[in-house]
Amino acid sequence: MSAKLVPLRRITGATVELSDEALLAACGTGDTAALGALFDRFHLVVYRFASRLPRTDELARDDLVQSTFLELQRTAHTFRGTSTVKTWILGVAANVARTTMRGEHRRRAHQARFVDDTRDVTPTRVDDQVERRRLMARIGDAIAELDHDHQLAFVLCDLEQVPGVEVAQILGIPEGTLWRRLHTARKAVRAAVEKLERQADPPGGPR
């Protein structure tokens, strides 16, 4: 993560002891120390989310983190407690990403956890590191080919493990819409994995 990211204001010991909800409420009143405390607690979470979006370089990820917390300062008063503060902040990041992120480079190696969870399509030759890298790259390509709404559904639900009900709330869409997007995204990613499998082990080929 870039060293350019810095807390928005040095926080005090009293601020550190506040709950996430209390800090967000204070932030909504213009308390910049509370905003700094939230930054310290959650900027790595937002950065990880940004790193999982395709075509984002380091500068774009840093920009997303900073923009998210600036937007947080503006919208904190709208928090209603229907999700955790972490989930709500990820929702702010998702909305910022939808409108402002301008990445240049693809992110190819961040899907390891998803690969581990798709054991039924993982190459049987697990000792072959070359095939594993190709598989991970193919998954990254599949996500990059999705439109942004489907990318967000997949990253938030399957990679960040945010409950679907909360994802629908933070994206401002009906649950049915979210599940349709997630189904489409999962289908595309799985098809990409299976295609790579067929290429690596064609019918009648050597075993």
16: confidence class by pLDDT, cuts 50, 70, 90: low
- Residue 59 or residue 113, greater confidence: 59
Q: Which residue has the higher pLDDT, 194 or 114?
A: 194
Contact call for residues 111 and 83 (beta carbons, < 8 A)? no
Place of tokens 């600036």: 70
Mean pLDDT of 157-167: 86
Domain 112-200 -> CATH class: mainly alpha
The alpha carbon of residue 114 and the mean position of all alpha carbons in its chain are separated, in whole angstroms, by 13
- In angstroms, how far is CA 133 from the centroid of its own chain? 21
To the question of domain 13-100 being in CATH 1.10.3720.10, the answer is no
Domain boundaries of the chain, sorted by first residue: 13-100, 112-200
Residues 6+ apart with CB under 8 A from 204: none
Q: What is the DSSP letter of 78?
A: G
